[in-house]
Structure 1
Amino acid sequence: MAYDDSLSFVYFGPTKIIFGSGSSTGELESEMSALGCSRAVVVTDQGIIKAGLSEKIIKTLGEKCVGVFSDVPQDTGIDVVNRGAAFAREKGADIIISIGGGSVIDTAKCICILLTEGGSLANYEGIQLLTRPQTPHIVIPTTAGTGSEVTWIAVVYDKDKGQKILIVESYNAPRAAILDPQLTLGLPPLLTASTGMDAMTHAIEAMTSMQREPIADAMALHAIRLLSDYLPVCIKDGGNIRARGQVQMAATMAGWAFGNAMVGLVHAMAHSIGAVARVPHGVSCGIMLPYCMDYNIGDGEPETIAIYAAIAQALGVSKRDDEPGSAAMAAVQEIFDLLRKIGHPLKLSELGVTEEDIIKAADLSIADGAIVNNIRYVTGKDEVLEIYRRAL
């Protein structure tokens, strides 16, 4: 798994990490003070409110919490961001604190942009369009999978376009992420499984990206090991705080990996089927992952096969001296086996996806920015559609 002699890269990881059981209440005020902030708007969702996960955190903030915006849906959109930004502006917020999963965190990132820059969020779709730091943002994740707590990427749904848009902006990385495994103890099995597979996809795709590099690979490989070992434990025993913490750290490492190396075909297809059929992102990633791995291996490139052989070692299904082609295919099979072990859907049809949906999604996938980073060049819509059909 060598790197080209001309390798040149920048590894960027500005977010401060605070990890520990109980850290969501014990460290928050000091982090706010360090940033010179005193007027926080909390961004969350109704599920978090009803589960009581935000109550202690908000109480800890006291008068420093000037408002709570809790209208974030499972897959956020531009309209939600606009409402949240208007709310935060009205409250005079000087910091945003997000408590939740990827949709909540991405909403908060985009609110930070509008608070600083104003205008329409659509103006910032793309890569590195901002020229200054944005409103400070502290993340307290309640799931373990998206990695959004350490990335400068936000994905939101644009209902006018009928597709998800990406905002990739280094100025919008959260200032701090507080990882408290206690907040993930109540995650139901399916959500634990799907967010865990989102993290697994981030790690594997970071290693099979055209922008892969050694530091991201190191993060990705250890994330794969931790997820392989501890995600099934979390499904079997949701109250195992050690396993929950390991998976939470793996998700953050995978976030750093793909935040620097980017993602590829799996995400292009997951974004697209999510936009067309409203399949939750983590679920669509989990389903598409082994099929896209198989597709990438299919071109027979020795370097591609060597990378997947290294992934197989991290998954614990091969040894260093095993034949690379066999090891690579063992990695694909292990992902299928892991999906079964954790009770994750195996086919898109289980989520109500139809042939008509995948035809529409194939068109969107080819236009998705993630596809250009894939280690195997995708020649056109027909190849994507064939992969979708295998996963249907």
Structure 2
Amino acid sequence: MPTSARNDLTAHRYRFTGHERILHNVRADEVLPGLMELFGYRRVFVVCSRSLNTRTEVIARIRACLGERLVGLTDDVGEHSPLSNVLRAAQQVRDAGADVLLSVGGGSVMDMCKAIQLCLSENAYSREALLKLQFVLSDDGTEMLTTSRAVPAIRQIAIPTTLATSEWTPVSTPIDELTHLKARFVVPEGSPRAVIYDPAILAQTPLPLLLSTGIRGLDHAINTACSSSPHPFASLLAEQAIALYMQNLPLLKDPANRQAHANCQLATWYTGMGQMSVPHGFSHWMVHIVGPYGSVAHSDAACVLMLAQAKWLEGWATEQHDRLRLALGGTGQPFHEILQRLLEQLGLPTALQDLGLNRQQVEAMIEPALQHPMVTRNNIRPIRSADDLRAVMALAWRSDGAQAKELP
């Protein structure tokens, strides 16, 4: 479908994702009891990261403030929240009679909670039953739609510990261990009912992970601002988010700088409020291939793919890149050079070699990327064929800005 026709369909669409309360720059253990009382929750099941549970006092303080409301807890999440872990936890939540999930962690933790919600709502406790519920695309290919028709059985309250914006979508992409591919769910009422942004908890996250998830959030904002079918409200928020990320991510190196942590959480808020309303391009989706196939964290892959996409769009997204440069102070540098300088300043990967990948691994990703429903859709500069994908990945292979034509 031509871009102009797609713009007619999407230009007036804003997708509200169902949040009722956002608490920003607060202490989670101080506000949680009142929030539970507000919503009338009495039986809380906590899903958290193992590192928070075993290496910090964060979960102990959460347990203490919940008191008798706490009916269960699991930290058995795992990288990319494997389906077997999701199914096991869903049965634990069901058996505990929980009336709300409390996620304390990053994207894998929140993704697991969304998938658990789907299990309980659809009474789906096997791999086969759950995989039947994967999303479908709208007729124009710009929007992900749920296939679940059950009344939602449980909601989530989120305390994010990273910056990649998972708390702002109903989308869950746990990994299927049998195929090494990401399952793809849009969960009815899957976005958290409430989000608690506690900068002190955010500061507990190891710095490399915190910075790379910030880049994943930045990548979401850039994809929103450079969407093939933009929305004015989403673009406005994305531009503000990009400026906040660029200004504050370098300041996270000081763990005592609570304002920088709070500002980065604000950037995820701005990003999340718009990202579901417009289609995203290559870099957003290719991490779902690079991650499981290369055993690479989503956020690390996002660093490299964000940079490659900016190079790929040079000369094709001139108006969008000009607006973003203006939001960043009017620098005359190519947009991809601004991004590369940020990644180098943060000590983050800029090329596929930095992720430990070799040519054979990258080539093995081409066919799964072609088969993915979103990787080759909705790109301002078209990506239609295996050769197009190889050309973009060649840009990801190098970090010097050269317009490489093939992988070395």
Q: TM-score, normalised by structure 2?
A: 0.87
RMSD of aligned alpha carbons: 2.0
Determine whether 1:124 maps to 2:133.
Answer: yes
CA distance in structure 2 between the aligned counterparts of 1:168 and 1:158, rounded to whole angstroms: 16
SS in 1 for 2:158: strand
Query: 2:120·2:154 contact (CA, 8 Å) conserved in 1?
Result: yes
CA distance in structure 2 between the aligned counterparts of 1:125 and 1:247, rounded to whole angstroms: 31
SS in 1 for 2:173: strand
Query: 2:216·2:302 contact (CA, 8 Å) conserved in 1?
Result: yes
1:136 maps to 155
The CA deviation at 1:272 is 0.5
Query: 2:114·2:187 contact (CA, 8 Å) conserved in 1?
Result: no
CA distance in structure 1 between the aligned counterparts of 2:173 and 2:279, rounded to whole angstroms: 14
Same amino acid, percent of matched pairs: 27
The CA deviation at 1:121 is 2.0
CA distance in structure 1 between the aligned counterparts of 2:117 and 2:343, rounded to whole angstroms: 36
SS in 2 for 1:260: coil
The CA deviation at 1:243 is 0.3
Q: How do residues 16-35 of structure 1 correspond to structure 2 at under 5 angstroms?
A: 16-35=20-39
2:44 maps to 40
Give the one of 197, 213, 233 matched to 2:251. 233
Alpha-carbon distance change, 5 to 362 in structure 1, aligned in 2, over 3 angstroms: closer
Unaligned runs of 5+ residues in structure 2 are 136-144, 398-408
Q: Which has the higher helix share?
A: 1
The CA deviation at 1:113 is 1.2
Q: Deviations over 1:179-210 (max 9, x none)?
A: 11110112222112101100100000112223
- AA in 2 matched with 1:43: V
Query: 2:165·2:268 contact (CA, 8 Å) conserved in 1?
Result: yes
1:369 maps to 373
The CA deviation at 1:344 is 0.5
Q: Deviations over 1:349-370 (max 9, x none)?
A: 2222111111121222222233
Determine whether 1:261 maps to 2:266.
Answer: no
1:96 maps to 101
CA distance in structure 2 between the aligned counterparts of 1:376 and 1:367, rounded to whole angstroms: 19
The CA deviation at 1:245 is 0.3
Q: Deviations over 1:221-261 (max 9, x none)?
A: 110010011001112x1220000000011012212222222
- AA in 2 matched with 1:8: H
Q: How do residues 173-188 of structure 1 correspond to structure 2 at under 5 angstroms?
A: 173-188=191-206
Q: How do residues 1-392 of structure 1 correspond to structure 2 at under 5 angstroms?
A: 7-50=11-54, 51-119=56-124, 120-126=129-135, 127-131=145-149, 132-143=151-162, 145-235=163-253, 237-298=254-315, 300=316, 304-318=317-331, 330-371=334-375, 372-392=377-397
CA distance in structure 2 between the aligned counterparts of 1:316 and 1:310, rounded to whole angstroms: 10
Q: Deviations over 1:324-347 (max 9, x none)?
A: xxx5x6211100000000111122
- AA in 2 matched with 1:258: Q
The CA deviation at 1:63 is 0.8
SS in 1 for 2:227: coil
Q: Deviations over 1:44-94 (max 9, x none)?
A: 121110222221112100010101011011221111110110111111111
SS in 1 for 2:230: coil
Unaligned runs of 5+ residues in structure 1 are 319-326
CA distance in structure 2 between the aligned counterparts of 1:278 and 1:263, rounded to whole angstroms: 23
Query: 1:11·1:260 contact (CA, 8 Å) conserved in 2?
Result: yes
CA distance in structure 2 between the aligned counterparts of 1:16 and 1:261, rounded to whole angstroms: 22
CA distance in structure 2 between the aligned counterparts of 1:5 and 1:73, rounded to whole angstroms: 42
Between 1:381-390 and 1:65-74, the stretch displaced more is 381-390
Between 1:378-387 and 1:176-185, the stretch displaced more is 378-387
SS in 2 for 1:60: helix
Query: 2:80·2:174 contact (CA, 8 Å) conserved in 1?
Result: yes
Query: 1:317·1:331 contact (CA, 8 Å) conserved in 2?
Result: no
The CA deviation at 1:4 is 5.9
The CA deviation at 1:17 is 4.0
CA distance in structure 2 between the aligned counterparts of 1:306 and 1:69, rounded to whole angstroms: 47
SS in 1 for 2:174: strand
Query: 1:206·1:220 contact (CA, 8 Å) conserved in 2?
Result: yes
Query: 1:147·1:253 contact (CA, 8 Å) conserved in 2?
Result: no
CA distance in structure 2 between the aligned counterparts of 1:102 and 1:262, rounded to whole angstroms: 20
SS in 2 for 1:261: coil
1:323 maps to none
- AA in 1 matched with 2:62: I
CA distance in structure 2 between the aligned counterparts of 1:212 and 1:48, rounded to whole angstroms: 38
Q: Deviations over 1:252-298 (max 9, x none)?
A: 22122222224210022211110101110011011111111111234
Alpha-carbon distance change, 187 to 383 in structure 1, aligned in 2, over 3 angstroms: same
- AA in 1 matched with 2:134: E
Query: 1:24·1:179 contact (CA, 8 Å) conserved in 2?
Result: yes
